[in-house]
Chains A and B, each alone.
Chain A
């Protein structure tokens, strides 16, 4: 095996283990928060069983022990839980986090980084929820008697056997050690259920992960600031990586001695796109938009940070411009131009995507922002350098996005100065919206004792860029077969609508509906206030009970990590699927699948723009269509021959009391 070489000062590969070991370990330079401890970053990559739309596992934690023979009750276990901001838990314990293993077959997903007492750990254990280790959702089978596209519980073949890996994990003071664990999940012989909803018996086994196939390294220095022990109410100096063009943070590394190192998941073929930025300790934000990172690569990104300055806050309230009511869950981001494109105008709608999000806040239930942080980890909007003018982006689904210049003021408790001529308080904003009032019809009244719940989505016409959804799903009960809905959408452009049912199956939650999806293309919203009440749009067709269905084993020629397949109906995009599994998965393939109700659809290949090697994209580009749409029909399952007591013990009920039978799969022609 090739051992990656880390030549940059302060970054050193300390260990790489082969011989059928399943854990990837690297160690990097010190972090200030770890003065007396080391740090361990844990990630997962997976080899799930094939033939499933979803393979979900419920992870509680990963823990380390210095003894290879440690028993479960050993007192030396060191636990790395679900991140506290990701998984708040009852009774103070971190919660479970559910991962879809299908989505992490080629690129790992980072789990958490925790401070750990320096030691030479020898045992790694993955803790799954012992009561509910996971769920499998099979696609429909053309031959089998079992229903597809519904939840099947996963049970471990040996639930009492710890999922351990005996491997050295050297955690040293002021070092970051990485542990990437491959989860092999396999169905045991005879482990498939014999009845719908029965349990799959599985084995979960750690296997080898090869660093050069998984991670890219970004390292560099921060001239002008060296980091150090964070002060109270001041964020420590750190460098953060996020998915390009978003505020989705992938990893963050503290700066120590003016040096930082990030190890980031990277796709092996076309690479992965990231933005990075430096923040904290009173330095002004600086950002970089990186070229596509390939596994095994090392990229140097250094920042000449300005002199440390006083910190202030940006606070305010976000409301609906029509109703005046507070907007809950609105997102605010501070944007700065990246170093490669320092003249980018972040305040212009057309060019804001060229900028990097360096701080995020959300509104509370009264529309106020930011949510309070802590003395150790204050809210990012309460730690904004005073002096520079930034661009604040304010967005909420269904509303027009606002871009406004903003400066911090006051202190780390309160402040904010917006310069767009807003009334006092200066950083309060009201977002504008328009409305689509529509009607959805069922083909029949729901049978007594049943109902149909549905959600409506609006996306930009001709795209799959969803802009809005109903705040609350709507329920149609037996007394009628129709319901009206009012949807907030932005005021510009037209929208495609689609509505999807939220069903139960045998009384349990159903991950995929058994009712058809109804659509309407190219709808123009009403720009009025107050909201209109009379419906002007009717979704095409009726939402019919048809039963589950799937499109699986479809194939795509020569796919890469930027390949997706979109499913549409009557010209309205509904959903997309990745092509999986791609290398370095041990058994690469080129298939895609959808669980979707029996109906007529189109599938179409899309391809993300291939970044020029070594060149930073100006902005993330949307994928483009390749070829022409291919018509696909999922045949509705035959009704079960005899009537069942109402309601049907499946996903929905036909007129006359019969029920949909076992669903069917369609294999489309290769794309």
Chain B
């Protein structure tokens, strides 16, 4: 590695450390107050676990917004700037007896679990009581850390006013609830399993994709 590359990495790491130290909220052990900003409610996340590769469709809602997510097990979904209560309803999209197990997590604490082995089985979890799903998110802005699979990473996801620290494993999908202005994310690998692949979608369309590592940043155009 050239000296210039080492310097660049050092700068990125230093910038990341400074940035993370000055934000609030959080997930993965960083909930509560950090730095000089006041604490916010822990982020809410959902895990869809079970037999790897099993396809599913899910609808997630907090008190303000809802999102439809299609994908395959395993996947973690995080609502950034959550307004509780929250609820996830997921339908397994395979006609076999594979397992789909749902967790709902506030900060780092699992609050509820639900599972199904039934063909095209449906399961749901919620935190609080959400009697009716909110309207679809508008704008619908998402950052998807697609891989490398199981890579442990730390990062910062933020809009123009608030930043949230995250610690997660890929694949992880960050759903922004009514972001202020444009959003961005900064992610650093903790295991270096391979290059990050991250994309940002706006109202259903991928607008930015990045690859690389160990630290990447992605910004809404």
Residues of A within 8 A of B (CB): 56, 58, 82, 84-93, 95-100, 103, 129, 131-132, 135, 243, 246-249, 328-331, 360, 362, 364-366, 371-379, 396-397, 449-451, 453, 455, 457, 464-467, 469-473, 475, 477, 500, 502, 504, 507-509, 511, 575, 647
Contact = CB atoms under 8 A, between A and B. Distances in A.
Interface in B110-162: 110, 112-115, 117-120, 122-126, 129, 131-133, 142, 144, 146-152
A360 B53 contact: yes
B20 interface: no
Interface stretch (B1-9, B10-18, B167-175, B179-187): B167-175
A471 B96 CA distance: 18
B37 interface: no
27 contacts: A88-B150, A88-B168, A90-B107, A92-B152, A95-B49, A95-B110, A96-B101, A97-B99, A98-B115, A129-B113, A131-B110, A249-B51, A249-B52, A329-B93, A331-B72, A364-B144, A365-B70, A366-B199, A366-B206, A372-B147, A374-B147, A375-B194, A396-B55, A451-B131, A470-B57, A507-B129, A511-B123
B95 A467 contact: yes
Nearest to A363: B72
A102 to B, nearest CB: 10
A660 B76 CA distance: 37
Contact of B193 (A374, A477, A502): A374
A374 B148 contact: yes
B164 interface: no
B28 interface: yes
Given A132-B113, A362-B55, A364-B144, A97 B206 contact: no
B150 A87 contact: no
Nearest to A467: B95
A23 to B, nearest CB: 23
Contacts of B51: 86, 248-249
Given A374-B193, A397-B55, A471 B68 contact: yes
Nearest to B91: A469
Nearest to B75: A88
A301 to B, nearest CB: 23
B22 to A, nearest CB: 20
Given A96-B110, A243-B96, 4 more contacts: A86-B49, A88-B49, A95-B49, A472-B68
Contacts of B151: 374
Interface residues of B, number: 81
B110 A132 contact: yes
A523 B125 CA distance: 33
B72 A329 contact: yes
A170 to B, nearest CB: 29
Nearest to A82: B49
A376 B192 CA distance: 10
Given A85-B52, A90-B76, A328 B118 contact: no
B129 to A, nearest CB: 4
A473 B122 CA distance: 10
Contacts of B87: 509
Contacts of A82: 49
A422 to B, nearest CB: 22
Given A98-B115, A248-B98, A329 B206 contact: no
A508 B129 contact: yes
A86 B114 contact: no
A374 to B, nearest CB: 4
B59 interface: yes
B45 A86 contact: no
Contact of A365 (B126, B129, B168, B201): B201
Nearest to B93: A397
B75 to A, nearest CB: 8
Nearest to B114: A509
A249 to B, nearest CB: 8
B197 interface: yes
A559 to B, nearest CB: 17
B32 interface: no
Given A131-B110, A132-B113, A509-B112, A98 B57 contact: no
Contacts of B201: 365-366
A211 to B, nearest CB: 24
A96 B194 contact: no
Interface of B is mostly: strand
B214 interface: no
A449 B173 CA distance: 32
A144 B136 CA distance: 42
B89 interface: yes
A129 B110 contact: yes
A508 B125 CA distance: 8
Contact of A85 (B45, B57, B74, B144): B74
B105 interface: yes
Contacts of B52: 85-86, 249
B169 A98 contact: no
A372 B129 CA distance: 37
A132 B108 contact: no
A469 B120 contact: yes
Nearest to A503: B124
A248 B142 CA distance: 30
Contact of B131 (A375, A450, A466): A450
Contacts of A502: 89, 122, 124
Interface in B10-68: 27-29, 45, 47, 49-53, 55-57, 59, 68
B217 interface: no
Given A84-B150, A329-B56, A471-B68, A90 B45 contact: yes
B98 A96 contact: no
A475 B49 CA distance: 26
Contact of B169 (A58, A89, A366, A396): A89
Given A90-B167, A373-B194, A511-B114, A466 B57 contact: no
Nearest to A360: B53
Given A88-B168, A464-B119, A509-B125, A365 B72 contact: no
Contacts of B132: 451, 475, 477
A468 to B, nearest CB: 8
Interface string B174-213: 0000000000000000100111010101000010010000
Nearest to A60: B110
B206 A365 contact: yes
Contacts of A470: 57, 91
A92 to B, nearest CB: 5
B115 A56 contact: yes
A86 B28 CA distance: 18
A18 B199 CA distance: 55
Nearest to B195: A372
A470 B103 CA distance: 22
Contacts of A85: 52, 74, 149-150
